[in-house]
């Protein structure tokens, strides 16, 4: 029982990590959100 859970965990952790990284990249580089994410950067530059 314990061995099978370990095998399942080890076989799924890399695909889950890759899926999470791909999701983050798509989220950040989505053209709609890119403007929203960069807005604070320009606001901080204007304040200086």
Q: What is the pLDDT of residue 48?
A: 60
Confidence check: pLDDT of 34 > 80: no
Whole-angstrom distance, CA of residue 17 vs CA of residue 24: 11
Q: Work out the average pLDDT over 27-43.
A: 80
pLDDT tens digits along 12-28: 999 999 999 999 999 88
Between the CA of residue 47 and those of 15, 21, 35, 38, 41, what are the distances in Å?
42, 33, 18, 15, 10
Cα distances from 6 to residues 3, 9, 16, 17, in angstroms, run: 5, 5, 15, 17
What pLDDT, on a 0 to 100 scale, did the predictor assign at position 36?
78
Query: pTM for this one?
Result: 0.58
Residue linked to tokens 């606001």: 43
């Amino acid at each position: 029982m314990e061995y099978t859970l370990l095998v399942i965990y080890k076989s799924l952790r890399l695909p889950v990590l890759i899926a999470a990284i791909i999701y983050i990249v798509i989220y950040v580089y989505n053209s709609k959100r890119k403007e929203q994410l960069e807005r604070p950067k320009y606001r901080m530059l204007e304040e200086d």
